[in-house]
Amino acid sequence: MGVKEILEGGKLGREEIISLLEATGDEKQLLFRKANEIKLQEIGNRVHFRGLVEFSNICGKDCYYCGIRRSNSEVQRYNVTDEQILDAARFAHENGYGSLVLQAGELESPAYTTRIEKLLKEIKKLSKGKLGITLSLGEQVEEVYERWFKAGAHRYLLRIESSNPDLYQRYHPSDTLHDYARRLTSLKTLQRIGYQTGTGVMIGLPFQNSGDLADDLLFMKHFDIDMVGMGPYIEHQHTPLFQYRHELLPIEQRFDLALKMIATLRILMKDINIAAATALQAIDPLGREKAVKVGANIIMPNITPGKYRNDYALYENKPCVDEEPEECKNCLDVRIQLADGEIGYNEWGDSKHYQKRLAGK
Ligand code: 5AD
Ligand code: FES
């Protein structure tokens, strides 16, 4: 079946998804247009902000793709103070961002759990409950997820990275810290506790083909996920996966594939939140805006205190590391308008999918 027929027809199975992901030229444009149409119909043109605070790059894990992995001794490690995190939260609140994302390298300890719990309560207090909070702090035991939920976090992002267990294993060390089964259990636990649950994958990894990516999208669908953040894989010279750089698609094609993934996911899951990943902007200065035009509805402006931004380098060529949050805001305002979007200031912008899931629809 051709792309046109697939887009007109009903069923979107593995084979059809592969055809969409492999579309080029006019067919690709058809896919992009269809995705945009569906987005406007289902959720409108509003884009919501999640102010991103990357508060520490200290990480206990050693993922083979990630620039801040434990074994990378070239990284200057940092840990933003609680006061600075609260300042960033205040900035987000006062500037109408609606929500905040707390992200960091992955750590598990009782002291860490308590630190986050206290911060959550403080942020709720300083914003009088108005600021929505998303956590992106990796795998934790159930009790920790529960404590953080009770303290005020209501969304959690935990990327599955690759839904194929064999591939997952090739991108991570073989030990209990990096176990696919635990990642999956964690996602299920988050969903059961009541978090709006987000996941995502990297696109254009070595050894990965369009069939794997189609499976990733179907995984999100079967998991009934509420939000997705996915972006192109970008090699980092101080990581083990760097040795496979000659096997990668050229970077422009990885970018293009990421846009096709977003567009296809919008058609597959019409009412979820889809973020325009920062990694897109690392490749193309207008990357996030292009994602908004093909189905994305969430942007995560970086509001990490300036001097630390350069050190949260998961991949190379990270964008906007020199800008202060104020400049970012003005810049984004214009950019989103250019992409025919409108920013939903002071709104949480929860995924419609989640609202329906809660109402049992
Ligand atoms: N390229 C692109 N994305 C990356 N991430 C980590 N390393 C890279 C990389 N080299 C993504 C992972 C992780 C998120 C925080 O950043 O998907 O979940
Ligand atoms: Fe950060 Fe433009 S988005 S300066």
Q: What is the pLDDT of residues 75-105, one digit of tens each?
A: 999 999 999 999 999 999 998 999 999 999 9
Coil, strand or helix: which one is 342? Answer: strand
What are the backbone dihedrals phi and psi of residue 231, each rounded to the nearest 5 degrees, phi first?
-155, 175
Q: Give yes or no for residue 292 having a pLDDT over 90.
A: yes
Rg (CA), the chain: 19
pLDDT value at position 320?
66
Residues 116, 156: contact at Cβ < 8 Å?
no
Of 27-31, 251-255, 328-332, the poorest mean pLDDT is in: 328-332
What are the backbone dihedrals phi and psi of residue 48, each rounded to the nearest 5 degrees, phi first?
-105, 145
Whether 10 is covered by a domain: the verdict is no
Mind giving me the DSSP string for 288-338? HHHHHHTT--EE--B-S-GGGGGG--SSSS-TTTT--HHHHHHHHHHHHHH
Q: Give yes or no for residue 330 having a pLDDT over 90.
A: no
Ligand 2 pocket residue status of 338, Cβ below 6 Å = no
Q: What is the CATH number of the domain that holds 318?
A: 3.20.20.70
Domain that holds residue 253: 43-359
Mind giving me the DSSP string for 250-290? PHHHHHHHHHHHHHHHHHHSTTSEEEE-HHHHHH-TTHHHH
Whether 255 is covered by a domain: the verdict is yes
Q: What is the pLDDT of residues 200-253, one digit of tens each?
A: 999 999 999 999 999 999 999 999 999 999 999 999 999 999 999 999 999 999
pLDDT value at position 322?
64
Minimum CA distance residue for ligand 1 atom 18 = 159
Whether 298 is covered by a domain: the verdict is yes
Nearest to 136 by CA among 278, 297, 295: 278
Pocket test for ligand 1, best of 167, 254, 315, 317 (most atoms within 8 A of CB): 315
- Tell me how far apart the alpha carbons of residues 18 and 4 are, in angstroms, rounded to a whole number: 14
Whether 2 is covered by a domain: the verdict is no
Q: Is 347 exposed, middle or buried (0-12, 13-18, 19+ CB in 10 A)?
A: middle
Q: Which atom of ligand 1 is nearest to the CA of 230?
A: 17
**Ligand lying nearest the CA atom of residue 338:** 2
Mind giving me the DSSP string for 85-128? HHHHHHHHHHTT--EEEEEES----HHHHHHHHHHHHHHHHHTT
- Tell me how far apart the alpha carbons of residues 257 and 361 are, in angstroms, rounded to a whole number: 32
Q: Give yes or no for residue 321 having a pLDDT over 70.
A: no
- How much of the chain is in helix, strand and coil states, percent to nearest 5? 50, 15, 40
Minimum CA distance residue for ligand 2 atom 1 = 328
**Ligand lying nearest the CA atom of residue 158:** 1
Whether 21 is covered by a domain: the verdict is no
Pocket test for ligand 1, best of 62, 186, 202 (most atoms within 8 A of CB): 202
Ligand 2 pocket residue status of 332, Cβ below 6 Å = yes
Measured from CB, residues less than 6 Å from any atom of ligand 1 are 65-66, 159, 161, 202, 231, 233-234, 236, 279, 314-315
Give the count of domains, the chain: 1
161: CB partners within 8 A, 6+ apart: 63, 168, 171, 172, 183, 200, 201, 202
Residue 255 CA, ligand 1 centroid: distance in Å: 14
pLDDT value at position 223?
96
Whether 1 is covered by a domain: the verdict is no
Whether 147 is covered by a domain: the verdict is yes
Whether 9 is covered by a domain: the verdict is no
Q: Which atom of ligand 1 is nearest to the CA of 232?
A: 2
Helix (H) or strand (E) holding 136, with range, is: strand 132-136
pTM comes to: 0.95
Q: Which atom of ligand 2 is nearest to the CA of 319?
A: 1
Q: Which atom of ligand 2 is nearest to the CA of 327?
A: 4
Q: Grade residue 328 by pLDDT with cuts at 50, 70 and 90.
A: confident
Q: Grade residue 1 by pLDDT with cuts at 50, 70 and 90.
A: confident
Q: What is the pLDDT of residues 99-129, one digit of tens each?
A: 999 999 999 999 999 999 999 999 999 999 9
Pocket test for ligand 1, best of 61, 66, 201 (most atoms within 8 A of CB): 66
Pocket test for ligand 2, best of 309, 321, 324, 328 (most atoms within 8 A of CB): 328
Residue 320 CA, ligand 2 centroid: distance in Å: 5
Residue 163 DSSP symbol: S
